[in-house]
Amino acid sequence: MNWLLVVAGAAVGAPLRYLTDRAARARFGPGFPWGTFLVNVVGSFVLGLLTGVTSAQVHLLLGTGLCGALTTYSTFSYETLKLYEDGARGYAALNIGASLAAGLGAVWLGVETARLW
């Protein structure tokens, strides 16, 4: 039955990723991959929060399912390469640096927030 928790989380995470990307493109344009950046940072924060949760079922639902479908390393990699190939090397470097810094900061903030509970 554990796989159903992963499926349920993924059923929410995948559409959230898609909708976030569409909303970010509509708001900020296609020049920088804001949608991917946002879902990866939010997913990092949620995973950090989950360090304070002892329930394996919650980890399966939210960590593996929701965050697994919400976040995306492959899309981040592809979009960064595409920026570089299209001549937007500064944006490619910004995407790498900002994604790494924001993701690490978000997971740290999530862990610290979980410790407060």
Please report, in range form, the residues annotated as the binding site: 68, 71
57 vs 2, 3, 30, 38, 112, CA distance in Å?
7, 10, 37, 25, 22
Helix axes of 34-49 and 89-116: crossing angle, nearest 10 degrees: 20
Please report, in range form, the residues annotated as the binding site for Na(+): 68, 71
Q: Which amino acid is at 111?
A: V
